[in-house]
Amino acid sequence: MTWGGGMGGGFGGAPGGFGRPAAPGLPFAGIPSELQSGVDRLLASEPEHAAPDVVFNQNGSEADLKRLTLWRLLTKYPWMLALAGALVVVISVAAQTGPKLTEIAINDGMSPGHEHFAVVVVMAAAYLVFIVITALAQRYQVQVTGRLAAWVMNDLRVKAFAHLQRLSLGFFTEEKAGVVMSRMTSDIENLQQLLQDGLSQLAIQALTMVVITVILFTTDVRLAAITVVLIVPALVVASLWFKRASERGYDQVRDGIANVLADLSESLHGVRIVTAHNRQRHNVIHHRNVVGDYRDANNYTAHVNAVYGPGTQLLGVLGQAVLLAIGGEMVLHHTLSIGALVAFFLYLNRFFQPIQLLVQQYNTYQQGQASVNKLRNLIDTEPEVTEALDAIELPPIEGEIVFDHLSFGYDPGRLVIEDVELRVAPGETVAFVGPTGAGKSTLAKLVTRFYDPTAGRVLIDGHDLRGVTMRSLRSQLGVVPQEPFLFAGTIGDNLAFAKPDASDDEIYEAVKKVGLGDVVDRMPAGLDTVVHERGQTLSSGERQLIALARAFLAQPRVLVLDEATSNLDLQSETKIEAALDALLENRTAILIAHRLSTAMRADHIAVVDHGRIIEVGSHAALVASGGRYAEMYATWVRHSDLAEHAPAHDGD
């Protein structure tokens, strides 16, 4: 049972700004001193970038609700798009003037009876001018589309990330982390290529085909009509097949890479368990299968390309052979000039070139489109828990929690909480105890509104949680998960995550209060000691104490605390118990107690079983009533190492 990360003690953490070493707020690990001067120099020469325009709220703004399409992404920059379009037109037209100039040079400058060297020279000069125009237009087009791509990518990354922040816990439980990562990295990268180069090339080639078709018809209508009848139907059929096959192929490729990354990330995260259970061999086999599926998807797209590319080339050559015979016959009968036939063939060659390039670009387009579809699915995923449009700010609370006929199922058909009734008075601590899978953590998740009830209500100070803003709710709630999450950064940063504006003194006060003072003092740089991602460099007891200090710093009115099940040594356990005492004082708290020794400290104990609360009362009352808790307690007394001290608690 893990509650996702980074939520210990409030939710208000803002990321630290660059150039502000080790400022409160995460994730940011500070700049190593030897690099600081280089960073300062770089920052001094950096242009000012406006803060990105990020829309973030829990119910989604109008802008956010629009469907993600390539067109919508691009039209946000209409001027750049128009400029790129104009340059594409210039390139497509200017590059096609050559054969026409050649035709004029042959017919009016070199043919018998029409020998005019001046015409040849003028045509050659014009050819040169158009080549220079084409080259210049290409240079600016690459620059403009490069910029356009950079902005669109930037928007997309921010939009996708902001959306991930909105999504509910359920999404992250269902979706593999690796798949989400691949959407955010490989899918977005994939679009980069399409935006930077692919789309403009696609437009240039398509436009070139149109320009050439027009020129072919103006050069000779009969030959052009024969070309269209001979080649175009076969080309259309082949292209329709290619479109369908490559769409399917690239969809499989996107899923394939997402699965490879998901498998990789799972193996990396679970490396300890994998090693401990000798599952390396099994993992390699599994990964080989996943990679194999990815390879098959790539092979399929390669096959589709291999059929379509050379196939269209063959069509072109066949068409040319037939046209050579027909055109030659027309020249012999003086119904067509040699210059026109040469120009026709030059254009015909150019007519097939864009088709080949279109195929390549269409691949890029397909890949990009597959990525857009995947990203659209991600961005269209609505959070399960949303904020009501008329949600009010939760005023400062006393801390009364009420479960009113509360029922909940992760899958609505299977309730894991059934008709629970409970009232926790302000300042009281209630411990949930019960067998594993009984629904204790689920009840806690309903208090923090990670999920909404299937039926009934959760009320804090009389306010239904669904009617208040998430921000105002969570800023007054503290959560200490069973496995506290620490970000890569200093211990101070990790503590200040719950309260970004906390002063060093406040942080140190919280550290002392939970009994972490001597541990921090012993660390090489005190609060500035850097911990690695997920706090791997600390012991589990230290991580728990940091999570408690984090919650203490936020000073929430209501605290939801999932007791760690890991076995701690007696000294750490005593420390944590003392820290808990400090933390729970004057606060409403829900404590998921895995140890009865912790449960006993609570004002009330609620026994949860099969999604229902079957007993509530103080430790003494429950023991005296001889019910389920009394049974659990008796078993615990018999088995506990502390059995000899146990009678002291009896009748507390």
Contacts with ligand ATP by CB under 6 A lie at 1, 173, 410, 416, 434, 436-442
Instruction: Say how far residue 596 (Cα) sits from the centre of its chain.
Output: 41
In angstroms, what is the minimal distance from the CB of 642 to ligand ATP? 21
Structure-token pair, residue 123: 């045509």
Residue with smaller CB distance to ligand ATP, 408 or 633: 408
Residue with smaller CB distance to ligand ATP, 442 or 475: 442
How deeply is 255 buried, as exposed, middle or buried, from its count of CB atoms within 10 A (0-12, 13-18, 19+)?
Answer: middle
At position 309, the amino acid (one-letter code) is: G
Residue with smaller CB distance to ligand ATP, 62 or 174: 174
Residue with smaller CB distance to ligand ATP, 354 or 439: 439
Residue with smaller CB distance to ligand ATP, 300 or 410: 410
Q: Which of 286, 268, 261 is nearest to 374 (CA)?
A: 261
The whole-angstrom separation of Cα 564 and Cα 193 is 47
Q: Which residues contact 474 (CB under 8 A, 6 or more apart)?
A: 10, 11, 12, 448, 449
Structure-token pair, residue 462: 């009389």
The whole-angstrom separation of Cα 90 and Cα 141 is 10
In angstroms, what is the minimal distance from the CB of 437 to ligand ATP? 4
Q: Which of 134, 110, 117 is nearest to 342 (CA)?
A: 110
In angstroms, what is the minimal distance from the CB of 167 to ligand ATP? 14
Residue with smaller CB distance to ligand ATP, 33 or 436: 436
In angstroms, what is the minimal distance from the CB of 493 to ligand ATP? 29
In angstroms, what is the minimal distance from the CB of 440 to ligand ATP? 4
Residue with smaller CB distance to ligand ATP, 25 or 456: 456
Burial 464-483 (b: 16+ CB within 10 A, else e): ebeebbbbbbbbbbbbbbbb
Distances (CA, A) of 372 to 198, 319, 376, 382: 14, 37, 6, 17
Residue with smaller CB distance to ligand ATP, 26 or 438: 438
Residue with smaller CB distance to ligand ATP, 440 or 499: 440
Rg (CA), the chain: 35
Q: Which residues contact 349 (CB under 8 A, 6 or more apart)?
A: 320
Order of strands, edge to edge, in the sheet holding 558-562? 477-480, 558-562, 588-592, 429-433, 604-609, 612-617
What letter does residue 648 receive in the DSSP assignment?
G
Residue with smaller CB distance to ligand ATP, 372 or 443: 443
The answer to whether the CB of 4 falls within 8 A of the CB of 472 is no
The answer to whether the CB of 22 falls within 8 A of the CB of 489 is yes
Structure-token pair, residue 13: 């953490």
The whole-angstrom separation of Cα 482 and Cα 479 is 10
